[in-house]
Each structure stands twice: as C-alpha cells, then as structure tokens.
Amino acid sequence: MTGTTASSSRLPANERRQQLLCVALQVFARLGYHETSMNALASEAGITKPVLYQHFASKHDLFKEVLAQTGDRLLMAISEQTSGNGTHQHDLKTRFLAYYRFFDQSPDAYAVLYGASLGNDPEFRHDRKRVQDAFAEWLARQIKADDHGDALAIAAGVIGIAEGMSRHWMEEGRCRSVDEMATLTAEFAWSGLDRSSGDGSRRDVNRGVG
C-alpha cells in the first residue's frame, strides 16, 4: 500500500469524497470527460476503484457533481464581490473581476465548466445553464434599475459576450491581466447598454474600482 493510499484510507467519508471531487476536477480538465476512466480517477486519487464506487455510482454522477460544485464556487465568488460605491457599472466591473480571477486561479474549473466535455448531455448542459442563468438574473436586476427594457434578454447577451471573451483569453494563454479583461468586458457590455437606451456616452467603469 502506498503512502497516498494509506493516507486516503484513513480519511473520513466526507473528506474523502471532497478529495475525490478535487482529483476528478483535475483529471476531467486534463483528459476530458470521454477519455477519463474510473480506473484513471481511482489511480490518481490513490485508492482502489471499489472505494471510488462507494462514493459515486458512475463516472456520469461524479462529473455531474464536479460540475455542480464548480458552478457553485464560481457563483459564490461572483456574489461576494460588490464595488461599494453604489453604481451599477462599477458593481459589474467587480463581478467580472471575480469571474476572471476565479478562472485565472483555477484553469481546471474553466476547462470543466466550459469545455467540450459537456457535449449534448442534457444534465451537464443544465448545470452550466444554471450558472449562466444565475449570473444573468443578477445582471438583469442592475439593468432594470437603469430603466432598460427586456433586461433578462440583454443580460443573457452580456453573459454570452463574457463567455466568448473569457474563452479567447484562456485559449491565448491569459496574456491580458484579470483587471484588463474585467475592464474590457464591463466597458463593452455597458457601451452596448448605452446604445440600447439611446445614451451614446461611454461610461468609465474604472473609476472607483480597485
């Protein structure tokens, strides 16, 4: 028995389950869902496959829980951030700061949440949509406060823009800083909102955000 296996065997059930979720995030991010096997996951975690099956009935169930947990962590990171200066534009900038910082610190989370592994599986896609919808609902409340119509549709469009920009950022090796990306995304989003409301002025999302 290896030291890793011996250590793992002494973990309480809830700690072992969390360990397996952390390992699974790394393996799924590296190999993708379809190329990952329960054997590979068990080996990476330093346990036997029967022990893995004690916690997760199937690879599908394990990946679904990894997705759900990753989405929860992202939403928590975003929801904890506020600008503190009372303006919706600056609040949006701080939320995007949290969004980009989360993926900068955990590229594996991005690979799992937005990677090709989700495919056409309705349960996997539902977990990602849950994150998108929660972020869009928050943004829609800010848009409504600025007297925009069709707030949820506009918010969904902004989230789509953020996902596209973050995908390009990740694929290009995160060459721009987190702050640069958050500023760029927020300015792009609010300039579009200005046009939709008939106000052509460019809002400064940098002022008062640190």
Summarised one tens digit per residue, pLDDT across range 40-69 is: 999 999 999 999 999 999 999 999 999 999
97 CB-near residues (< 8 Å, 6+ apart): 81, 178, 179, 182, 209
pLDDT band at 6 (very low <50, low <70, confident <90, very high): very low
pTM: 0.81
User: Is 86 in a helix, a strand, or coil?
Assistant: coil
Angle between helices 151-171 and 178-197 (to 10 degrees): 150
Q: Look at domain 64-197 and name its CATH class.
A: mainly alpha
User: Domain locations in the chain?
Assistant: 64-197
| 116-172 pLDDT per residue, tens | 767 678 888 888 899 999 988 888 887 776 666 688 888 888 899 899 999 999 999
Q: Residue 208: its pLDDT value, please?
A: 46
pLDDT band at 32 (very low <50, low <70, confident <90, very high): very high
